[in-house]
């Protein structure tokens, strides 16, 4: 089984001629044409989009997850602090009006 990769213009606008998969001297399991309009390659998975390993994506995902977790904790702490301060402000206000020391009497 083999697949034909059509010719394409790479990112430098250079025409790359078409080729068939698997390529001579390449992996015999790479029978599919994968890639995008500006880069094509032979691969063994027809749903592959990148010609390199995906392990770096896990590090990006872990980094994003850690960053979002820290941001969520900070936001949660801020909201709790605001709620506690509002509660303390409302509950420590004097219940009655302050006595000014002046009594208003009709003359």
pTM over 0.75: no
Rounded CA-CA distance 96/71 in Å is 42
Task: Please tell me whether residue 19 adopts helix, strand or coil conformation.
Answer: strand
Q: What is the pLDDT of residues 47-97, one digit of tens each?
A: 765 555 555 566 667 788 889 999 999 999 999 999 999 999 988 877 666
Answer whether 46's CB lies under 8 Å from 29's CB.
no
Which residues, listed in sequence order, are joined to residue 40 by a DSSP beta bridge? 35
H-helix segments, the chain: 55-91
**Phi, psi (deg, nearest 5) at residue 9:** -95, 125
Pair of tokens at residue 61 = 């995902």
């Amino acid at each position: 089984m083999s697949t034909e990769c059509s010719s394409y213009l790479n990112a430098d606008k250079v025409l790359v001629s078409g080729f068939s998969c698997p390529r001579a001297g390449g992996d015999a399991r790479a029978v599919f044409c994968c890639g995008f309009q500006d880069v094509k390659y032979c691969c063994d998975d027809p749903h592959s989009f990148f010609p390199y390993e995906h392990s770096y994506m896990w590090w990006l995902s872990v980094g994003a997850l850690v960053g979002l977790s820290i941001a969520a904790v900070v936001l949660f702490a801020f909201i709790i602090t605001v709620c506690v301060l509002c509660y303390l402000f409302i509950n420590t206000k004097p219940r009655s009006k302050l006595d000014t020391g002046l009594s208003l009497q009709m003359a």
